[in-house]
């Protein structure tokens, strides 16, 4: 046996002195040598010490002679002088050739290109190890071995198979096309175990987004000739895990039902098969946390935090219970509002009109963001393209006020080189880019980018929006990367119920909020009852001509049976176009034109002469406008704010009907406590004919329990003294005061609440009635009563019981009223 280094220890045996000698051991078909030179000998050692070391070495050699053969036989490891080399032998050998074996598709030169050594180099075990790792990392080979035989290095490879076909079995909730688009392994690609595991996870992620967290995927490999395989993913989809319940902890200012309207996740119910938002989705849950936080910040709660959003799977694994924990903090108002600037020639007085935050108003973080945006754009127009507006808040926790100082200073001179958009599979690029107030080549402003992100989230097209930045081609250039995760924007909904005024009622609608990825709105709705049938088609382009203009059109057909109240039926068919635009913060104007063909038919033989006179077909061509001012903190369930609207329509722009109609309404909401809200409403209207024409019976106002509860449909107002038919009026008003409160001892998650109310109003002065005898009075009708409101699975329902305080003898009363809730 060859002897190793100066210490005399045989090769392959660890030296007892402080030196290392590693041998080349072949195991599992992979061999390469690693050697380290001996350390320095102990120059100061005595003869006795050296003699002792020699004796110990001889003992080790004798022990190995007896023991190693047995171990080698047991483990199948062969240790031979030909495989064990000294460091000098391993690193001193010159590589004379490199031989590649086992390759069938991969060219030998391709294999050699990954080696860390070449012919003519000295063999180095470390470089052999690095070469082996490089070849394995290519994913082309299932196994790689590198060994040396004299001056030849042999590289043995086992190629990974080629995928012939990828198939899916057991899937029904998600089609093959969707799964095939998600997995990375495709036909004619190289099969690797790592890629299969990665694709399994991708498939599971798809099912998780569909609420199927119990899904299982098992890959099956079918071997074919010529080192090809068919890959089959066998899928057990499991059951759909819905959101069974959504709960809120810590909310005082807003009820659970109000906050459920803010978030995008919904609870599973009777109509769950019509929507996808009742499926648990972690990305959607993160969006909901942000929506809740923004909602509180714009409603006065500057310290509000969404501490956690937890989804707990029930014991049976059938659904999730989602719990949002909220720390609301205190309600704040705006304190002093100022503008400071370090730009000497900037006129701050000219910026006052751009400030939307006013002292004494409820704190609103959204108004601060909008003010920053308006100030930034205004200052840029004055020649300061790189100006930066920074809000500084001075919080007074005792007085519960927050003073805002808008600091305008010179920002860094950085330009937007490019805006990249990723993840918008369906939504067009221009729909996203138009939400930015900066374009490629403009001065970069972080605040404007943040505002664009919030606008994208507000569209409702995406469940996740992130905007990152990276360095551009120059130090003063930046690239913005907009990453989006789209969510479904289509909706099929229907509802049904019973109304004391119309009997059985129902509706079904199909809505698309992002039509063909263009950001357009389209709705087709069919509604009806025993007495009414109505079909509506509505289309809206929210950014007409790439401006802040909302343009659209409406088509409709409506048939109403008024035999019970007025002894006739009516039919209306028509359409219209409209254009809306903002006049200021919270102030909006709509303009419109419509043309309608209406018909009064099937008049009863015992009808009023006024009704008989109105029978026939007419064409109404009208133009009109509406002005709306809205500061409510919630569109469907407000507890604070104001709403005012004024609208006018003039018929006679063509057609054969002439009138001018004016309507006005005002509402106010005041929170008495965190749970009790006072609501007030006043409404009024007037219609008058022109061009020598009286107001037709079909164009007049008809009022009843929807204005003053306790009265039947068309229950008060002018009436034919002989037939009792309601004839409508040309002037009316109504007023309501209502206190809404949660029901004691009733869990809030049931969505039930109560109210007490007082109503008053009147309708008078009929239009064209011919020679009919008319009962008419300007007397005020009034009532008080109790209400029960329920956010039912089929929509909001309301039951009212009213006690009439004042009425006329010819009015029709109805103490109890039940049906779909009309929000005000």
pLDDT digits (tens, 9 = 90+) for 626-665: 999 999 988 878 888 999 999 999 999 999 999 999 999 9
Give the span between the Cα atoms of 311 and 346, in whole angstroms.
Answer: 52
Confidence bin at 605 (pLDDT 50/70/90) = confident
pLDDT at 82 over 90: no
> Of the segments 27-36, 227-236, 794-803, which one has the largest average pLDDT value?
227-236
Q: Which of 561, 531, 560, 566 lies closest to 724 in space, CA to CA?
A: 566
Mapped onto helix, strand or coil, the DSSP state of residue 757 is strand
pLDDT at 102 over 50: yes
pLDDT at 523 over 90: yes
Give the span between the Cα atoms of 185 and 191, in whole angstroms.
Answer: 7
Give the span between the Cα atoms of 281 and 277, in whole angstroms.
Answer: 8
Phi, psi of 814 (to 5 degrees): -155, 100
- Give residue for tokens 């909001």: 796
CB 461 within 8 A of CB 427: yes
pLDDT at 379: 87
Strands (E), 602-658: 616-630, 641-655
CB 456 within 8 A of CB 465: yes
pTM of the model: 0.65
Give the span between the Cα atoms of 588 and 576, in whole angstroms.
Answer: 19
Straight-line distance from the first to the last Cα atom of the chain, in angstroms, rounded to the nearest whole number: 102
Give the span between the Cα atoms of 462 and 514, in whole angstroms.
Answer: 11
Give the span between the Cα atoms of 233 and 216, in whole angstroms.
Answer: 10
Mean pLDDT calculated for residue range 690-715: 92
Strands (E), 285-400: 305-313, 319-327, 333-341, 387-396
| Mean per-residue pLDDT of the chain | 83
Confidence bin at 60 (pLDDT 50/70/90) = very low
CB 575 within 8 A of CB 555: yes
pLDDT at 536: 95
Give the span between the Cα atoms of 804 and 757, in whole angstroms.
Answer: 12
Strands (E), 328-400: 333-341, 387-396
pLDDT at 422: 93
Q: In this structure, what token pair is assigned to residue 616?
A: 């026939």
pLDDT at 596: 96
pLDDT at 69: 43
The whole-angstrom distance between residue 331's C-alpha and the CA centroid of its chain comes to: 28
Mapped onto helix, strand or coil, the DSSP state of residue 272 is helix
pLDDT at 64 over 60: no
Say which range, 82-86, 383-387, 785-789, has the weakest mean pLDDT.
82-86
């Amino acid at each position: 046996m060859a002897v190793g280094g100066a210490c005399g220890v045989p090769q392959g045996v660890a030296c007892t002195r402080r030196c290392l000698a590693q041998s080349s051991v072949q195991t599992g078909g992979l061999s390469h040598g690693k050697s380290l030179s001996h350390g320095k000998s102990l120059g100061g050692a005595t003869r006795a010490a050296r003699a002792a070391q020699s004796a110990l070495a001889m003992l080790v050699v004798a022990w190995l002679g007896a023991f190693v053969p047995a171990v080698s036989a047991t483990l199948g490891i062969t240790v031979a002088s030909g495989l064990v080399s000294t460091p000098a032998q391993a690193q001193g050998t010159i590589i004379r050739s490199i031989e590649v074996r086992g390759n069938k598709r991969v060219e030998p030169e391709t294999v050699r290109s990954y080696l860390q050594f070449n012919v003519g180099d000295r063999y180095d075990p470390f470089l052999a190890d690095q070469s082996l790792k490089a070849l394995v990392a290519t994913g082309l080979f299932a196994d790689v071995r590198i060994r040396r035989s004299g001056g030849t290095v042999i590289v043995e490879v086992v190629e990974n198979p080629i995928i012939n076909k990828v198939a899916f079995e057991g899937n029904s909730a998600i089609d093959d096309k969707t799964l095939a688009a998600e997995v990375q392994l495709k036909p004619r690609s190289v099969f690797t175990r790592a890629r299969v595991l990665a694709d399994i996870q991708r498939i599971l992620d798809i099912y998780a987004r569909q609420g199927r967290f119990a899904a299982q995927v098992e890959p099956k490999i079918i071997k074919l000739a010529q080192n090809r395989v068919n890959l089959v993913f066998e899928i057990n989809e499991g059951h759909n895990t819905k959101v069974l319940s959504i709960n809120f902890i810590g909310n005082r200012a807003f009820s659970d039902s109000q906050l459920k309207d803010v978030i995008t996740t919904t609870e599973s119910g009777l109509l769950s098969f019509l929507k996808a938002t009742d499926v648990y989705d972690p990305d959607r849950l993160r969006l909901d946390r942000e929506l809740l936080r923004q909602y509180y910040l714009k409603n006065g709660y500057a310290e509000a935090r969404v501490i956690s959003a937890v989804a707990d799977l029930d014991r049976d694994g059938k659904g999730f219970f989602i719990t949002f924990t909220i720390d609301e903090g205190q309600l704040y108002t705006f304190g002093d509002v100022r503008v400071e600037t370090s730009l000497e020639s900037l006129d701050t007085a000219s910026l006052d009109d751009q400030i939307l935050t006013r002292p004494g108003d409820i704190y609103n973080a959204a108004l601060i963001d909008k003010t920053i945006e308006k100030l930034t754009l205004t200052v840029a127009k004055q020649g300061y393209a790189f100006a930066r507006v920074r809000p500084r808040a001075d919080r007074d926790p005792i007085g519960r006020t927050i003073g805002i100082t808008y600091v305008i200073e010179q920002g860094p001179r950085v330009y937007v080189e490019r805006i990249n958009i990723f993840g918008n599979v369906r939504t067009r690029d221009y729909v996203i880019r138009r939400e930015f107030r900066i374009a490629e080549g403009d001065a970069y402003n972080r605040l404007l980018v943040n505002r664009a992100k919030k606008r994208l989230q507000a569209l409702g097209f995406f469940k996740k929006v992130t905007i990152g930045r990276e360095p551009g081609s120059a130090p003063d250039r930046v690239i913005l990367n907009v990453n989006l995760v789209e969510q479904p924007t289509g909706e099929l909904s229907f509802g049904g119920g019973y109304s004391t005024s119309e009997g059985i009622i129902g509706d079904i609608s199909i809505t698309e909020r992002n039509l063909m990825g263009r950001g357009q709105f389209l709705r087709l709705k069919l509604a009806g009852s025993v007495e009414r049938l109505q079909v509506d088609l509505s289309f809206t382009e929210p950014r007409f001509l790439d401006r802040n203009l909302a343009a659209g059109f409406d088509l409709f057909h409506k048939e109403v049976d008024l035999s019970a109240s007025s002894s006739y039926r009516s039919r209306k068919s028509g359409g219209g176009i409209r254009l809306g635009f903002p006049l200021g913060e919270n102030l909006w104007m709509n303009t419109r034109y419509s043309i309608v063909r209406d018909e009064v038919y099937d008049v009863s033989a015992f009808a009023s002469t006024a009704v008989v006179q109105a029978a026939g077909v007419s064409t109404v061509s009208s133009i009109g406008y509406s002005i709306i001012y809205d500061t409510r903190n919630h569109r469907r369930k407000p507890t604070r704010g104001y709403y005012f609207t004024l609208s006018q329509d003039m018929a006679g722009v063509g057609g054969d009907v002439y009138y001018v109609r004016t309507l006005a309404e005002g509402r106010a909401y005041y929170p008495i406590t965190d749970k009790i809200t006072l609501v007030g409403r006043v409404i009024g209207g007037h219609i008058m004919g022109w061009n020598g024409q009286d107001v037709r019976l079909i164009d007049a106002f008809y009022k009843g329990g929807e204005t003053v509860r306790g009265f039947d449909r068309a229950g008060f107002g002018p009436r034919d003294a002989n037939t009792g038919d309601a004839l409508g009026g040309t002037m009316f008003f109504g007023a309501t005061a209502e206190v809404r409160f949660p029901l004691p001892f009733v869990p809030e998650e049931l969505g039930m609440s109560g109210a007490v109310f007082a109503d008053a109003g009147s309708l008078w002065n009929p239009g064209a009635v011919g020679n009919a005898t008319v009962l008419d009075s300007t007397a005020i009708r009034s009532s008080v009563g109790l209400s029960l409101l329920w956010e039912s699975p089929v929509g909001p329902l309301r039951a009212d019981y009213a006690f009439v305080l004042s009425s006329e003898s010819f009015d029709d009363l109805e103490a109890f009223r039940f049906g779909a809730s009309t929000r005000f």
